[in-house]
Every structure is written in structure tokens, then in C-alpha cells.
Chains A and B, each alone.
Chain A
């Protein structure tokens, strides 16, 4: 815990620390740059927010309204689009699948990743470096190289087009990132504590779960956040390995939605589906934005 708070304070040091005495000495040019800076940052922020707001507004329009004028307001506040998207277009089902797959994959990958990085970071044995570099390679090579053989591996073990198969591949491909980043956290934990636990008679299992793992919590939290986003947004693995429509995840469902081709697309429902996909993560982000940005900060200090 101390770790993140500590990093957080350094992060905020620059804006808070400087005294106010030079406020008056800031010349006219300073204020000019200040204004330019604000204008540019506002312009970028508008560019980011505007499409999202437009999607939100459009999600309340009927398809006819969407097609007739992009700038108009919806006639009346109607939620029919959301109902259509959730039930008829199956977004509700996809949402549930995504929660199941991402939930299981996240728990498994954090457990396996935590254990693996702990062993790699704190124990010396032949092959240690080889495993570490293999993980690093797994992080660099494009998933596209693996996708065809992966399809047949899953087919051979009967896990193609199943949620467990998808969970397993999610875990495998999130593992290198997890191990790579947790490795440095476990490396930093003081050695004496491990020794002390040993002296107190704790075995390797207990030492890890009751002593080392709790100490690596800040690192675990950061990595978990990034893994969550990465897995929630995963696209290639599901569209290649999970082609059974009843098992679609959200990203697949969204792609399916637009590719239903041409005239029959229910644009009102499409916008509603986008809102349903984006809103939960956005709300979680706004609540946890400080921690998340702290995680980016912590990652950058490596």
C-alpha cells in the first residue's frame, strides 16, 4: 500500500510543491503561454469527449432520426433502443459471457502470474533466465503468428468454441505481461522478511500467501487493472477461437452488429449498444482514475 501512496505523492509533487511567491513574478508571457496551453488542452479534450457525447445523445434517437439529421436532438427520451440492443441484438447475453470469461481469466492469470513471477524473481535455479526470456518473447511476438496453430490446438483438445477454452487462452496470453511486471515487484521485497518467515517455521506455500503476496499488493492491483482492460477489450482471440454466436463476448457482438451489413442495421440500437459497452468501464474508470493513473506512473518508474 505504502508503495502506491509514495509514488502518488511524487507524482503530484511538481504542481503542489512550488511556492506561490513567484505568482506575481510570472510575467505577461507566462500568462500568454498559460492561455495557449489551456486552449490546446481544451481542444483535445473536446475532440475526445464530443464523439462520446454524440453517441450518447444518438442512442436516444430512433433510427429514422439518426439517419435524417446527425445534429438534431432526440424527439423524446425513449429507451427502446436499449431494450432492443439488450434483448433482440443479444448484447445482454454477450455482456454476461464477457463477465464470465474476463472474471475467471483475471483471477487465474493473477494467481498463476503472481506465483510464477515470485519464483522467477526470488529463487535461483537452472532455466530461470530462459523462462523469463521466453515470457519476454511472448510479450513481443504478434498474437497473429500464433493464431492459426492455436485454433487447431484448441480444436484437438476439444476446447474450440467453448468459454473454458477462451479463458485458458486469455490466461496464457496475459501471463507474459503479468509475470514481466510483477517480477520487478517481487524482486524489490526485502529478503529479511522471507528469512524471518522461514525462521518462524512457515513453509514455502505459507510464506508466499501470508507474507509475500500481501506485500506485493500494490503491484498486483496495477497489473490487475491493466489485465482487466486488456482482456475486456480483447478482440482477435474471441473472433478466431470462439465462433459460436451464443458464446460471443461483447467485442465480438459489437463487430457482428455493424457487419450485419447495410440497410438492416438498427442504428439507434447500435448507439445504445456502444453506450452499454462503454459505460460500465467508463464509470469504473472515473471512480478509480486516481489509482489507475497512479499505476501508469508506477509502471513508468521501472
Chain B
């Protein structure tokens, strides 16, 4: 490697190294690529990519796993899926979760985040609520608790006789709730289960949105106030458009979690709940595969779950793009401003130093 080439490259900051020249294949470089790229990619390919690809093939077979015979049966599994009432029920339940849980969680998180960030002060500069960090710390708690344990905690809370919920409700005089089986009644099992998932995630997204709102230039809020926008108006027409990206990310992550929901349902109602009212696709898949041993059929359920998940993600992107409009531009300008790129900028914008240092060496 010669100094001249290096100098030429440094005059163009932020260009990846290998673009401009070919480096000799030294042992250092070859071993570097083999280990740095080869190792992770092999692990990833063997344990993540290959199972995904195999799953699609298995879903076209009648494989039961332990037998030798594996017949290719085309789309028969999928035809059967759409005639399988229990699976269709589980799919409806999953979709219901995917629609309701992200929406309620995000709305709640946004309301709480708005209160924390712009709740204080009526006029003048926009101010955060005083002593609000305690709310942030506390609300975040559930995110650190394993899903199965969240499920177990609420299983005990909802217990008809020994649970805190019914004890509290009868304590304030609502005697009709004595021994009410929240998870054992087909009409309440699903809403009660949804609440558990929402309880677990609101705090995390509240923190995420608080960060997003604090990234907005306070002058934007001030301008809105001067123009006479009330708090609600400010939240709807300023805050939400400016943190769209955070909301979109939140929607997708929450959607994936809610469409899965396996861990919560496994704790609350391991067998699908009264009249299968809380049975979800992931549970049905797990039972079909590991209890009944119908692996081919189970993987076709996995493919359906993946399809539903991708459709959901596509839907979120589309809705965000359609409703995006002009705010998108304003937001992306703001983002570049707040991103850490700026922090390293002073270094990158000094190519002269690097060049002169090399000059001295040669």
C-alpha cells in the first residue's frame, strides 16, 4: 500500500476502504475475511436461513418427522388449513391480536409520553412534566420481565378466588365479580389476555416516544403555541407527524409480537382457552408439530404465520406512506440534525490533518 493512494482516498471521507483499490491478498486479509465474515455468515445460514427455506419445502409434504416416508403432496396442506376450523379460529384470533394490541399500546404510550414531555407549563415555552423520570423508570419495569413470567403474574392476578383483581373489585363493592373467571369465560378471556401483552409493552414504547419527542426542536412547539394551538392540537398535528418513523417501527415490532403472542397465551391459557377463544396460530403450530408430530402440516401453518406477518408489515408501510405527505420531509431534516453523525463530523471533515500526518511519515 502506498501513501499516495491513501492520500487520494482520504480526500474523500466516508468512502468504504475497498472501493478504490485492490489490496494484496495477504494472510492477514484472507484470515480476516474468513473469520469476520465467513464464521457469522455460516452460523446464520445454517441455523436461520436454511430452516426457513426447508420449512417452505416441508410444508409441501406429509412428513411426520420420525418416519422415513416423506411424500410431496403439493398444496394439500394449505387446502386442508383452510378447511380446518380450529386453525381458522386461531388465525382469526392472531389477526385480532395483531390489529388491537399494537393500536392500543401505541395510543396509550403516546398519551403517556406526551404528558411526560409537554405536560408541564401552560403558556410560554414547552416544558416537560416535573419529576417525571420516575414514571419512565417504573413504566419500563415490565419490559425487563420475561414474557412467561408476565403471563404467570397475571394468571395469578386473574385467579377467580385467590387473585388480586377480583379481591379488589369485590372490595370496592362490585360483588358480581366474586369468583369471576376472567380467563375461563369465552367473552373475557381474549380481552384479558390482550391487556396482559399491552401491560408489558406500553412502558417500553413510552420511553421510545419520549426520546422521539425530545428530539423535536422545542422551537417547533413554541411556534405552535404562539399560533394558538392547544395541547391536544399540538400532539395530533405536530408531535405525531414528527415522530412517524418511531411510530412505524413500534407498530411493526408490536405487530410481530402480537401475531406471535405464544409465550403469553402459553402461560394464561395453555390449551387455547374457553372455546378456543385465545388459541393463536403459534400455539396451534406448536401443538401440531411437537405434540401431534405432524411436522409437514405444522410448517404450512408457519408459512401462513409468516405470510400474515409480512402482509401486516407491508400494510403498516403502505399506510404510513399514504398518510405521510409533507411532514415526511420536515421530519427527515430534523432527524439528520439530531443523529449522531454530527458528533463524529468534526473528525471526518478534517482530511487535511490525516494527509499531512501521512506526508510527514513519508
Q: In the complex, A188 Cα to B302 Cα: how many Å?
A: 38
- Considering the complex, which residues of chain B in the window 302-329 have a beta carbon less than 8 Å from any beta carbon of chain A? 302-303, 305-306, 309-310, 313
Stretch of B75-83, B85-93, B148-156, B181-189 with 4 or more beta carbons under 8 angstroms from chain A: B148-156
B33 within 8 A of A: yes
Q: In the complex, A69 Cα to B43 Cα: how many Å?
A: 52
A142 adjacent to B306 (CB under 8 Å): yes
What sequence of 0s and 1s flags, for each residue 161-173 of chain A, a beta carbon within 8 Å of any chain B beta carbon? 0000000110111
B343 adjacent to A297 (CB under 8 Å): no
By a CB distance below 8 angstroms, the chain B residues around A146 are 48, 51-52, 55, 302
B338 adjacent to A10 (CB under 8 Å): yes
Q: In the complex, A259 Cα to B211 Cα: how many Å?
A: 40
What sequence of 0s and 1s flags, for each residue 45-75 of chain B, a beta carbon within 8 Å of any chain A beta carbon? 0111111101100100000010000000000
- Considering the complex, which residues of chain A in the window 137-181 have a beta carbon less than 8 Å from any beta carbon of chain B? 137-138, 140-142, 144-153, 168-169, 171-173, 175-176, 179
B351 within 8 A of A: yes
B344 adjacent to A233 (CB under 8 Å): no
Given A122-B17, A125-B18, A140-B313, A25 and B138 contact (CB-CB distance below 8 Å) = no
CB distance from B296 to the nearest CB of A (A): 9
B305 adjacent to A142 (CB under 8 Å): yes
A67 adjacent to B146 (CB under 8 Å): no
Given A26-B123, A122-B16, A199-B6, A49 and B211 contact (CB-CB distance below 8 Å) = no
By a CB distance below 8 angstroms, the chain A residues around B313 are 140
- Which of the residues A116, A142, A299 comes within 8 Å of B302, measured between beta carbons? A142
B162 adjacent to A70 (CB under 8 Å): yes
A254 within 8 A of B: yes
B348 adjacent to A192 (CB under 8 Å): yes
Number of A-B contacts (CB under 8 A): 392
- Which of the residues B161, B231, B267 comes within 8 Å of A67, measured between beta carbons? B161
Q: In the complex, A293 Cα to B249 Cα: how many Å?
A: 17
Interface magnitude class on chain A: 35 or more
B174 within 8 A of A: no
Chain A interface, DSSP helix/strand/loop, else mixed: helix
Interface contacts beyond A48-B139, A67-B161, A149-B58: sample of 10 additional A-B pairs, CB < 8 Å, sorted by A: A15-B127, A25-B124, A54-B157, A168-B43, A175-B40, A195-B6, A199-B358, A203-B26, A251-B263, A270-B152
Which residues of B pack against A, CB within 8 Å? 1, 3, 6, 9-10, 13-19, 26, 28-29, 31-33, 35-37, 39-41, 43-44, 46-52, 54-55, 58, 65, 108, 111-112, 115-117, 119-130, 132, 134-149, 152-157, 159, 161-164, 166-168, 171, 199, 202-204, 207-208, 211-215, 218, 231, 246, 249, 256, 259-260, 262-263, 266-267, 270, 281-282, 285-286, 289-290, 295, 298-299, 302-303, 305-306, 309-310, 313, 335, 338-341, 343-344, 347-348, 350-351, 353-354, 357-358, 361
Interface CB pairs A-B, < 8 A, 5: A38-B119, A48-B203, A116-B41, A190-B344, A191-B13
Which residues of A pack against B, CB within 8 Å? 2-3, 6-7, 10-15, 17-19, 21-23, 25-31, 33-34, 37-38, 40-42, 44-45, 47-52, 54-55, 58, 66-67, 69-71, 112-113, 115-116, 118-120, 122-125, 131, 134-135, 137-138, 140-142, 144-153, 168-169, 171-173, 175-176, 179, 188-196, 198-199, 203-205, 208, 229, 232-233, 235-236, 240, 250-251, 254-255, 257-259, 267, 270-271, 274, 277-278, 281-282, 285-286, 289, 292-293, 296-302
